[in-house]
Structure 1
Amino acid sequence: MKKLIQLLPIVVMTLLITSCSSVKVAADYDKEANFDNFKTFAFFKTGIDKAEISDLDKRRILRAVETELLAQGFTKSENPDLLVSIFTKSRERVNIYNNGYGAYGYGWGWNPWYWNNYNNTSVTTRTEGTLYIDLIDANKKELVWQGMGTGLLSSRSVEKKEAKINEFVSKIMEKYPPILEEK
């Protein structure tokens, strides 16, 4: 029973962390670009080749981007208006949970945990990844829009990995086209 009570906070924290949508997104764009002129796209192979992830994950990301752009009314073309490139980064994230309850009691009186001195510390590591999707004006060869998504990566199964990639790309592409501010 004591072990169950000790593990309960860790289980609750794990459930809270894993149940929420964990992708944070942001976007930046060129205010001078006319996004209404962009109707076609192609992938920028030179930029994509530089992404430091497996070819399988690159293909998953590119399929997800293509699906999102086609859903927005774009057409894939040999002579595109936009070039699509991706860039990735990852880092290890260390979480420390220290549960030192019951060390010296509740004040005056007897404490059943006093002699046990429960100091439970757990350390977990997870990989946090960032995906950048760059949209480049094909005629000017200038970056006109960049979306970025950051979240925890999952490599448990192919299906979960693919679902996570689709979530990343979908959340990022919700920011395109930018809502231009009225002057």
Structure 2
Amino acid sequence: MKTLKLIPLLLLFVFASCSSVRVNQDYDKNVNFDGFKTYAYHKSGVDKVEISDLDKKRILRSIDEVMMSKGFTKSENPDVLINFFTKEREQVNVNQYNAGYGYGWRYGWNPYLWGGNTTVTTHSEGTLTIDIIDAKKKELIWQGQGEGYLTKNTDKKDENIKEFVTEILKQYPPGKK
């Protein structure tokens, strides 16, 4: 009987771990995205991003992979320019667990905090924003944003960044799956 109660909990963890990146997009609904086939990077914007050069290379490589898989080509005379920026913040979680019996109260309430336990954990959460700019008009036409947990483990950084970029650019161009 106990195993039946654990199955929904296990399924929740499986589905929750499918994608750890939350994404959204915004775009100009008056733009015809079908005419855009080539891209380049907005060099002055990319240079301003305050992350390590190694992480910049990881992001650029991932964007190249995704854009090329969608049929776009890099060009000296592009239809669109791609820019990105990042933001990182530290999240702090405080969890209190209180076990035991209180005097004359229901089970679980404990005025003396007997058996209580407090844990504090921290993790880094980051945001990657990718902008797509009409190269001729110099106007922002599409913006995608992904938020999720970051890893300090260098072995998993490539994988983590690729997941962020892939999930964000899944929505580009708008209206196509």
Range into which the TM-score falls when normalised by the shorter chain: 0.7 to 0.9
CA distance in structure 1 between the partners assigned to 2:101 and 2:46 by the alignment: 54
**Aligned position for 2:65:** 67
Task: Decide whether aligned partners of structure 1 residues 104 and 171 sit closer, same or farther in structure 2, where only a CA change above 3 A counts.
Answer: same
Alpha-carbon separation, structure 1, partners of 2:140 and 2:174: 14
Q: Which residue of 1 aligns with 2:161?
A: 165
**Counterpart in the other structure of 1:89:** 87
Could you give the per-residue CA deviations for residues 29-75 of structure 1, whole angstroms, max 9, x where no partner exists? 01111100100000111111111111100110010001000000001
Q: Displacement of 1:159 after TM fit?
A: 2.5
SS of the equivalent of 2:141 reads strand
TM-score by length of structure 2 reads: 0.83
Does the 8 A contact of 2:26 with 2:144 survive in 1? Answer: yes
Query: Which residue is equivalent to 1:57?
Result: 55
Q: Secondary structure at the match of 1:56?
A: helix
> How far did residue 119 of structure 1 move?
1.2
Provide structure 2 residue ranges, at least 5 long, that are not aligned to the other structure. 1-9
In 1, Cα distance between the equivalents of 2:67 and 2:21?
20
Residues matched between the structures, number: 163
> Matches of 1:108 and 1:132 in 2, distance apart?
50
Q: In structure 2, how many angstroms separate the alpha carbons of the residues matched to 1:119 and 1:25?
A: 38
Contact preservation (8 Å) 1:40, 1:75 = yes
For 1:153 and 1:146, locate their aligned partners in 2 and report how far apart those are by CA, in whole Å. Answer: 21
Give deviations 1:93-137, integer Å, cap 9, x for gaps.
Answer: 11111111225289589x9x9988111110111111000001000
2:127/2:146 contact within 8 Å kept: yes
Which letter maps to 1:82?
V
Amino acid at match of 2:43: K
RMSD over equivalenced CA pairs, Å: 2.6
| Cα distance in 1 for residues equivalent to 2:93 and 2:163 | 23
Partners of 1:116 and 1:95 in 2: CA distance: 20
- Are the equivalent residues in 2 in contact too, given 1:103–1:119 (CA < 8 A)? no
Alignment partners' CA distance in 1, 2:88 and 2:66 = 23
Secondary structure in 2 aligned to 1:129? strand
The match for 1:29 among 27, 34, 39 is: 27
**Alpha-carbon distance between aligned partners in 2 of 1:108 and 1:141, rounded to the nearest angstrom:** 66
> What CA distance in whole angstroms lies between the structure 2 residues aligned with 1:19 and 1:133?
23
Spell out the pairing of 1:21-170 with structure 2 (5 A cutoff): 21-104=19-102, 117-156=114-153, 158-170=154-166
